[in-house]
C-alpha cells in the first residue's frame, strides 16, 4: 500500500510540476529557445535580406567577422568602456551606500534622489545629455558652467582630440544605474551583524579604513560579486546611449565611428545592411566573450554565495 | 466633393488650423479611448474591396503628412473600392521598413532607395510597364539609373533632393569676401567668418564626415563604385579627404548644434555664417533671412576639379510579395505619373524639392529664380548618387576611414586602402 | 558622543548634498526646458528659469497630430500593467514548481531556464521578430507584450525566494488537505507580496522604458508606446526643443511617481538580488 501511495504522490507531483511550469516554459521556448536555435542556423547561412536559414555556408560568417577590423575594434571599444564604467559604478554606488547608510539626517531623501534616475529611460537620458547638458553650444548647461570661469564652449560630442565623448557616455550610464546598485549595497550593509563592529571596537579598531577593509568589505563579498557581474554583463551589451548620443543612423553618422560598441555594429550590419547571417554570428561571438569575461571574473573574485 | 485633386489642394489651411481647436482635442481623446477598447491592427475600411497599405518616412516639413493622406483619400474618392491606409513612420525608417519587408505583413507600397539585395531577395516588384517611352523620356537618365537594377526599373522617383552651400551675403560682404570658388577659399572664408559667438561654417555635428564623404571626392573628379568595381582608393580621393582635414582642423566648423545639417537652424539662428544644407530648407531660410542668403553647389577641390552636389530623394516602390500588386501599381501610376498637380504640390507646397518629371521641373514657377534656380541648374550639371550596388556596410567602412583621417589625423592613403579592401569583400558577397 | 557624531557627519552630509544636487540636474533641465520657448532654450545667455513659463508646450504636445502622446501613454500603461501581471503570475508559478515540487525533469527545466538567462537579447532579437511575424503579432499590442511576459530572471528570483519559504508551513497546509495548487494559491502567493512588489516595479519600469522592440513591432501609430512617440520628437527632421522636453517630462513623470510610492518595496527586494541566496 505505501508503495502505491508513493507512486500516486509522485504522479500528482509530476502533474502539478508540469502544470505550474508549462506557461513559463512554453513562453520561454517560443520567445527565447526557438529564436536562439533559429539565430544559430542563421549564423551558418548566407542570409542577405532574408531571415530564413537555408543557404548554408559553414562558419564563414564567423571567420569574416573575426577578420573584420571594424568588428574587432568594436570589441576593444566595449572592453575599454567596461574598464571605465564597471569599477566606477562599483565605487560610486558603494561609496554612496556607505554615506547614506551612516548619514544621520535625511537618509530616505538621499536614497530617493540617487535612486530616482533608475526610472528614466536611456532614450530620455540620452536626449538630456546630448541636447541640453553636454550641448556643444554656449547654451549647453556644462558649457554655461565652465563659461562662468571664462572657459570657451567645448564641443563635447563630435571631436576625437580630446575624446570628451567618453565623459558624456560614462556619466549618462553612471547616472542611470548607480542608484540601483546603491540600493543593493544598502541591503547588503544592513545584513552585516552589528556584533562584528562591536567586537572590532572592543579590540580597539576605530571607525574608518581598517573596519571597512577587514569587516565591511569581506562581509559585502557576495553582494559585490553580484553587483560586478550584473554591471559587467550590462556594460558588454551597451547599445542605447551610444546609439542615441553618437548616432547609429542618420545625419552625423561620422560620430558613430568614434566609439562603436559591438551591438551598434551588429545592429547596422543586420538591420541596416540586412545581413542577418553575420548579424547572428556576431551575437554569438559577443555571447562567448561575455561568458569568458564572466568566467574570468569568477576565477578572480569567485561567484559569490558558496564561499561564505 | 473630391472628384479631382484641385479642390483638395486648397484645403491645406484647414489642416493647419487643426492645432488649436478644443473640439479636435476631444476627438483625439475619443479616438484614443476607442483604440483602448477595440485594440489595434489593420482595420479595413468598410465598403472598400481592397485596402492598400502605404508607408512614408516622417518628412520634416509641416503639412506633408496631411498632404499624403489627402492624396490617398482623393484616390479612394475616384475608386471607392480601393482604400489606402497611409502609415507615417518616424524614427529609423530604414530599419523599420527592411524589417517589415522580411515578413508577410509588410506594406504594399513604400518609399525608399533601391538597393540590389532588395531586388535579389524579391522584395520589390519591377515597374517597367509604368514607363512607356514617353514617360521614360520625361525622367532624367540619372534618376532612372538610380532606380534600376540589371536593366529593370524598380523605383518611381517622387522627388529629387539636392544639397546647397548656403551663405549669409551680408556677413561675407562685411568680411570683404566673395562666395568661395574652391575648397581653399572655403577654408579661408570659414576662418575669417569665425567670431566669438559664431562659427564660419556648419557641416553637421560630425564635422562634415557624413555630409561631404562623397561630395568632396566627387569635387576632385573621384568616384566610389563604378561597373561593379571599387574605385575610391586613388590619390585624388585621398587628397580630397586630406583637404577636408585641413577644414576640420581650422577651428572654424560649428560642432555640437542641437540640429543637424539637414535643418537650417544653425544658419538661421546665426550660429554659423555658412552652412551645407538641403534645397528643401530654402523656403524656411528665405522666410527667416529674406534676401540675405546665397547658395551654390559644393566648390571644386582645386581649380582642376568641378563643383559637386548630391542627387538624393525618395522613390515609391511596390512590395513584390503584395497580394494586390496590380492595384498598387495602378495607384502609384495615378499618384506620381498621371497627376502633375499632386507632384507639384508634393515637391513645392511644403519644402522645396525638384520634381523628377523634367517637364514639370522646367515649368515650376518657384524654381525659376534665385538660389532655387541655381540649385536646379547645379543638380542637372553636377548632381550624383551612389549606385544601387553600394550598401551600408561599404558606407560604414568608408565612414570609419574618413573619421580616422579627419579626426584621428591618420594618413589618408593607407586608411583608404583598408576600406577599399573591405568594400571589395562586401561587394563580392553582394554579387555572389 | 552625540556631539562627535554630529561633527563627523557634517562633512558626510555636505558631500551627500553635493552629489544629490548633481543627480538632480537632469531633472531640473527637463523641467526648465519644457517650460521655455525655443529661443529661450537656445539663447547664449543662461536663464535658470523661464520668466514666462510656457505651459502651452504641454497642451501643444497633446495636440500634435504627428505624435499621438495620449495613445502612447495609454499603450504604455496597458502594456506595462499586462506584462507585470502575467510575468508575476507565470514566474511565481514556475518558481514555486522549481523550488518546491519534487518531480523528474526538474533540474533539466531549471538549467534550461538558467541557460536562456545568459544569452544577450541581441542574439535573439531578429529571430524573435521572425517568430512574432509567423504568429501574426506584428503591429498588435499583444505582440509587443508577449516576449516581455516570460522572464528567466524573475523565475530564478522566485525560485530562490520560495526555497527559503519555511517547510513547516507548507507541510501544515498539506496535512490540512491542500493540493499543490492550494499551497501555492493560499499559502505562498499571499506571502510573496514583497518580492512581487519589488520585481513588479522593476518589470513595470523595464516595460515602460523598452524601446527597440516596441519600435520595430508597433509600426502603426495606434500601437506606439511613449518611448516610440518620444523618439519621433528626437528623430523628427524638424526638431522642436520645447515640445521634446515637454514630451520627456510627460514620459518620465508616471515612472517617478510609481517609484516614489513603491520605493520601499524595491529596497526590500534588493535583498533578493544581492546574491545572498
Residues C52 and C110 in one domain: no
**C-alpha grid cell, residue B185:** 577659399
B225's enclosing H/E stretch is strand B225-226
| Structural domain for C185, as ranges | 59-273
Residues C138 and C23 in one domain: no
Mean pLDDT of chain B: 87
Q: Is residue B9 part of a domain?
A: no
Nearest to B180 by CA among B131, B243, B264: B243
Give this complex's ipTM: 0.89
Residues C67 and C54 in one domain: no
Q: How far apart are CA C229 and CA C76, in angstroms?
A: 10
Q: How far apart are CA A60 and CA A70, in angstroms?
A: 17
Residues C147 and C256 in one domain: yes
Residues C21 and C145 in one domain: no
Q: Is residue B412 part of a domain?
A: yes
Q: What is the pLDDT of residues A130-154, one digit of tens each?
A: 989 998 888 899 999 999 999 988 9
Q: Is the pLDDT of residue B31 over 60?
A: no
Q: What is the pLDDT of residues C201-223, one digit of tens each?
A: 889 999 999 888 898 888 777 88
| Structural domain for B322, as ranges | 45-160+312-370
DSSP secondary structure letter of residue C66: T
Cβ distance B263 to C67 less than 8 Å, yes or no, reads no
When CB atoms are compared, the residue of B40, B99, B263 closest to C222 is B40
Q: Does the A61-301 domain belong in CATH 3.30.420.40?
A: no
Q: Which residues contact C137 (CB under 8 A, 6 or more apart)?
A: C143, C146, C217
Residues C104 and C240 in one domain: yes
**In this structure, are residues B143 and B113 in contact, taking their beta carbons and an 8 Å threshold?**
no
Helix extents (H) in A103-137: 107-115, 122-127
User: Which residues of chain C have a Cβ shorter than 8 Å from any chain B Cβ?
Assistant: 42, 44, 60, 62-68, 70-71, 74-75, 78, 129-130, 133, 136, 138-141, 215-216, 219-223, 228, 231-232, 235-239, 241
CATH code of B340's domain: 3.40.190.10
Residues of chain B in contact with residue A269, where contact means CB-CB under 8 angstroms, are 393
Residues C93 and C169 in one domain: yes
Residues B95 and B127 in one domain: yes
Q: Is the pLDDT of residue B397 over 70?
A: yes
- Which segment of A25-34, B10-19, B193-202 scores lowest on mean pLDDT? B10-19
Q: What is the pLDDT of residues A71-92, one digit of tens each?
A: 999 999 999 999 999 999 999 9
What total number of domains does chain B contain? 2
Distance from CA of A265 to the nearest CA of B (A): 9
Q: Which residues contact C250 (CB under 8 A, 6 or more apart)?
A: C58, C61, C69, C73, C226
Residues B236 and B331 in one domain: no
Residues C100 and C153 in one domain: yes
**In this structure, are residues C225 and C199 in contact, taking their beta carbons and an 8 Å threshold?**
no
pLDDT band at B190 (very low <50, low <70, confident <90, very high): very high
Q: Is residue B193 part of a domain?
A: yes
Residues of chain B in contact with residue A253, where contact means CB-CB under 8 angstroms, are 206, 209-210, 395, 399
What total number of domains does chain C contain? 2
Residues C174 and C47 in one domain: no
Cβ distance C238 to B258 less than 8 Å, yes or no, reads no
Residues of chain C in contact with residue B99, where contact means CB-CB under 8 angstroms, are 129, 216
- Residue A251, pLDDT score: 61
Residues B266 and B301 in one domain: yes
**C-alpha grid cell, residue B288:** 527667416
How far is C-alpha C251 from the chain's CA centre? 13
Mean pLDDT of chain A: 88
Q: How far apart are CA A304 and CA B401, in angstroms?
A: 44
Instruction: Provide mean pLDDT across the span B408-424.
Output: 96
Residues C103 and C180 in one domain: yes
Among chain C residues, CA nearest to A127: C234
**C-alpha grid cell, residue A104:** 544621520
Residues C97 and C207 in one domain: yes
Instruction: Please report all neighbours of C, defined by 3+ CB atom pairs within 8 A.
Output: A, B
pLDDT band at B14 (very low <50, low <70, confident <90, very high): very low
Ramachandran quadrant class, C127 (left: phi over 0; alpha: psi -120 to 50; beta: rest):
alpha
Residues shown for chain A: 308
Per-domain residue ranges of chain A: 1-43, 61-301
Residues B128 and B246 in one domain: no
Q: Is the pLDDT of residue B11 over 70?
A: no
Residue pLDDT tens, chain C, 277 long: 444 455 566 788 888 999 999 999 999 999 999 999 988 988 888 899 988 999 999 998 888 766 788 999 999 999 999 999 999 999 999 999 999 998 888 989 998 888 787 777 778 888 898 889 888 888 888 999 999 999 998 998 899 889 888 888 888 888 888 889 999 999 999 988 888 988 898 899 999 998 888 988 887 778 889 988 887 776 666 678 898 899 999 999 999 998 888 887 777 776 655 444 3
- Residue B7, pLDDT score: 30
Residues of chain C in contact with residue A122, where contact means CB-CB under 8 angstroms, are 209, 211
Q: Is the pLDDT of residue B18 over 50?
A: no
The sign one gets for the Cα dihedral C57, C63, C68, C74 is positive
- Residue A76, pLDDT score: 96
Instruction: Please report all neighbours of A, defined by 3+ CB atom pairs within 8 A.
Output: B, C
Pick among A48, A49, A135, A144 to test the B interface (most B CBs inside 10 A): A49
- CA distances to B350, C211, C251 from C226, rounded to whole Å, are 28, 9, 6
Residues C238 and C125 in one domain: yes
Residues B66 and B215 in one domain: no
The last residue of one of the domains, among C19, C40, C58, is C58
- Residue C273, pLDDT score: 53
The last residue of one of the domains, among C25, C42, C58, is C58
Distance from CA of C219 to the nearest CA of B (A): 7
CATH code of C144's domain: 1.10.3720.10
Residues B173 and B281 in one domain: yes
User: What is the value of pTM for the model shown?
Assistant: 0.87
Residues of chain A in contact with residue C113, where contact means CB-CB under 8 angstroms, are 24-25, 28
Q: Is the pLDDT of residue B22 over 80?
A: no
Q: Is A279 touching C (CB cutoff 8 A)? A: yes
Q: Is residue B91 part of a domain?
A: yes
Q: How far apart are CA B432 and CA C229, in angstroms?
A: 40
pLDDT band at B17 (very low <50, low <70, confident <90, very high): very low
DSSP secondary structure letter of residue A47: -
Question: What does the angle CA A76 – CA A81 – CA A84 come to, to the nearest 5 degrees?
Answer: 130
Select the more confidently predicted residue: A207 or A230: A230
Amino acid at each position: 500500500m505505501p508503495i502505491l501511495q508513493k507512486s500516486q504522490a509522485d504522479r500528482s507531483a509530476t502533474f502539478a510540476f508540469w502544470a505550474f511550469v508549462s506557461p513559463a516554459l512554453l513562453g520561454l521556448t517560443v520567445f527565447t529557445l526557438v529564436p536562439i536555435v533559429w539565430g544559430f542556423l542563421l549564423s551558418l547561412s548566407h542570409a542577405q535580406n532574408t531571415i530564413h536559414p537555408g543557404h548554408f555556408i559553414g562558419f564563414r560568417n564567423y571567420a569574416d567577422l573575426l577578420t573584420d577590423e571594424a568588428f574587432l575594434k568594436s570589441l576593444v571599444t566595449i572592453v575599454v568602456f567596461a574598464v571605465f564604467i564597471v569599477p566606477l559604478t562599483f565605487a560610486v554606488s558603494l561609496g554612496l551606500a556607505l554615506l547614506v547608510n551612516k548619514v544621520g539626517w535625511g537618509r530616505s531623501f538621499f536614497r530617493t534622489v540617487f535612486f530616482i534616475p533608475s526610472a528614466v529611460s536611456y532614450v530620455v537620458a540620452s536626449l538630456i545629455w546630448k541636447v541640453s547638458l553636454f550641448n556643444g553650444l554656449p547654451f549647453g548647461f556644462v558649457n554655461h558652467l565652465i563659461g562662468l570661469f571664462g572657459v570657451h564652449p567645448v564641443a563635447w560630442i563630435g571631436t576625437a582630440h580630446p575624446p570628451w565623448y567618453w565623459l558624456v557616455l560614462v556619466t549618462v550610464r553612471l547616472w542611470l544605474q548607480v542608484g540601483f546598485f546603491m540600493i543593493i549595497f544598502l541591503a547588503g550593509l544592513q545584513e552585516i551583524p552589528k556584533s562584528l563592529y562591536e567586537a572590532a571596537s572592543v579590540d580597539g579598531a576605530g571607525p574608518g579604513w581598517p573596519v571597512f577593509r577587514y569587516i565591511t568589505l569581506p562581509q559585502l563579498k557576495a553582494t559585490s560579486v553580484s553587483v560586478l557581474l550584473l554591471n559587467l554583463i550590462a556594460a558588454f551589451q551597451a547599445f542605447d546611449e551610444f546609439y542615441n548620443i553618437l548616432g547609429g543612423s542618420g545625419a552625423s553618422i561620422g560620430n558613430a565611428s568614434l566609439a562603436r560598441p559591438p551591438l551598434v555594429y551588429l545592429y547596422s550590419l543586420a538591420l541596416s545592411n540586412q545581413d542577418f547571417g553575420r548579424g547572428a554570428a556576431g551575437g554569438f561571438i559577443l555571447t562567448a566573450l561575455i561568458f569568458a569575461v564572466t568566467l574570468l571574473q569568477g576565477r578572480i573574485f569567485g561567484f559569490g554565495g558558496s564561499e561564505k | 466633393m473630391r472628384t479631382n485633386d484641385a479642390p483638395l489642394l486648397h484645403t491645406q489651411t484647414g489642416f493647419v488650423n487643426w492645432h488649436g481647436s478644443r473640439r479636435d482635442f476631444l476627438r483625439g481623446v475619443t479616438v484614443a479611448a476607442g483604440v483602448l477598447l477595440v485594440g489595434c491592427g489593420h482595420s479595413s475600411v468598410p465598403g472598400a474591396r481592397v485596402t492598400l497599405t502605404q508607408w512614408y518616412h516622417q518628412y520634416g516639413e509641416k503639412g506633408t503628412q496631411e498632404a499624403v493622406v489627402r492624396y490617398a483619400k482623393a484616390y479612394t474618392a475616384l475608386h471607392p473600392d480601393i482604400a489606402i491606409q497611409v502609415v507615417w513612420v518616424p524614427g529609423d525608417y530604414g530599419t523599420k521598413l527592411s524589417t517589415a519587408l522580411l515578413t508577410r505583413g509588410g506594406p504594399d507600397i513604400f518609399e525608399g532607395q533601391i538597393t540590389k539585395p532588395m531586388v535579389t531577395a524579391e522584395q520589390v516588384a519591377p515597374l517597367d510597364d509604368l514607363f512607356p517611352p514617353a514617360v521614360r523620356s520625361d525622367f532624367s537618365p540619372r534618376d532612372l539609373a538610380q532606380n534600376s537594377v540589371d536593366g529593370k526599373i524598380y523605383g518611381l522617383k517622387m522627388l529629387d533632393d539636392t544639397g546647397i552651400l548656403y551663405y549669409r551675403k551680408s556677413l561675407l560682404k562685411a568680411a570683404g569676401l566673395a562666395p568661395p570658388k574652391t575648397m581653399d577659399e572655403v577654408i579661408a572664408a570659414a576662418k575669417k567668418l569665425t567670431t566669438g559667438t559664431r562659427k564660419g561654417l556648419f557641416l553637421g555635428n560630425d564635422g562634415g564626415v557624413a555630409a561631404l564623404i562623397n561630395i568632396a571626392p566627387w569635387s576632385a573628379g573621384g568616384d566610389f563604385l563604378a561597373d561593379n568595381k571599387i574605385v575610391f582608393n586613388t590619390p585624388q580621393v585621398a587628397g580630397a579627404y586630406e583637404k577636408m582635414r585641413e577644414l576640420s582642423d581650422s577651428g572654424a566648423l560649428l560642432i555640437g548644434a542641437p540640429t543637424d545639417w539637414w535643418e537650417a537652424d544653425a544658419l538661421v539662428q546665426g550660429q554659423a555664417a555658412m552652412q551645407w544644407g538641403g534645397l528643401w530648407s530654402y523656403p524656411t531660410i528665405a522666410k527667416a533671412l529674406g534676401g540675405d542668403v546665397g547658395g551654390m553647389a559644393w566648390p571644386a577641390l582645386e581649380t582642376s576639379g568641378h563643383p559637386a552636389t548630391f542627387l538624393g530623394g525618395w522613390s515609391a516602390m511596390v512590395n513584390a510579395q503584395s497580394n494586390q500588386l496590380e492595384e498598387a501599381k495602378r495607384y502609384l501610376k495615378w499618384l506620381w505619373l498621371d497627376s502633375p498637380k499632386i507632384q507639384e504640390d508634393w515637391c513645392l507646397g511644403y519644402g522645396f524639392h525638384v520634381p523628377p518629371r523634367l517637364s514639370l521641373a522646367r515649368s515650376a514657377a518657384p524654381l525659376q529664380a534665385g538660389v532655387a534656380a541655381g540649385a536646379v541648374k547645379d543638380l542637372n550639371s553636377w548632381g550624383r548618387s551612389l549606385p544601387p550596388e553600394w550598401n551600408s556596410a561599404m558606407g560604414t567602412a568608408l565612414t570609419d576611414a574618413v573619421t580616422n583621417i579627419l579626426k584621428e589625423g591618420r594618413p589618408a592613403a593607407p586608411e583608404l586602402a583598408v576600406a577599399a579592401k573591405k568594400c571589395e569583400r562586401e561587394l563580392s558577397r553582394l554579387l555572389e | 558622543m552625540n556631539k562627535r557624531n554630529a561633527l563627523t557627519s557634517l562633512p558626510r552630509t555636505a558631500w551627500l548634498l553635493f552629489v544629490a544636487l548633481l543627480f538632480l540636474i537632469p531633472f531640473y533641465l527637463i523641467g526648465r526646458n519644457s517650460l521655455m520657448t525655443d529661443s529661450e532654450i537656445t539663447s547664449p545667455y543662461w536663464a535658470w528659469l523661464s520668466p514666462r513659463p510656457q505651459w502651452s508646450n504641454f497642451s501643444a504636445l497633446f495636440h500634435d497630430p504627428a505624435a499621438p502622446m495620449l495613445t502612447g501613454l495609454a499603450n504604455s500603461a496597458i502594456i506595462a500593467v499586462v506584462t507585470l501581471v502575467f510575468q508575476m503570475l507565470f514566474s511565481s508559478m514556475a518558481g514555486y514548481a522549481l523550488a518546491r515540487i519534487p518531480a523528474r525533469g526538474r533540474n533539466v527545466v531549471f538549467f534550461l531556464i538558467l541557460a536562456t538567462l545568459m544569452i544577450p537579447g541581441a542574439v535573439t532579437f531578429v529571430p524573435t521578430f521572425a517568430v512574432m511575424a509567423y504568429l501574426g503579432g506584428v503591429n498588435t499590442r499583444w505582440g509587443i507584450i508577449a516576449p516581455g511576459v516570460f522572464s528567466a530572471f524573475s523565475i530564478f528570483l522566485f525560485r530562490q525566494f520560495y526555497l527559503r519559504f519555511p517547510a513547516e508551513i507548507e507541510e501544515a497546509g498539506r496535512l490540512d488537505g491542500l493540493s499543490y495548487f492550494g499551497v501555492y494559491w493560499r499559502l505562498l502567493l499571499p506571502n510573496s507580496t514583497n518580492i512581487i512588489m519589488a520585481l513588479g516595479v522593476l518589470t513595470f519600469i523595464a516595460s515602460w522604458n523598452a524601446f527597440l522592440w516596441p519600435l520595430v513591432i508597433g509600426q502603426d501609430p495606434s500601437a506606439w508606446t511613449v518611448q516610440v512617440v518620444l523618439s519621433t520628437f528626437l528623430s523628427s527632421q524638424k526638431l522642436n526643443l520645447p515640445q521634446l522636453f515637454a514630451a520627456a517630462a510627460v514620459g518620465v513623470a508616471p515612472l517617478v511617481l510609481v517609484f516614489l510610492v513603491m520605493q520601499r518595496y524595491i529596497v526590500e527586494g534588493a535583498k533578493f538580488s544581492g546574491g545572498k541566496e
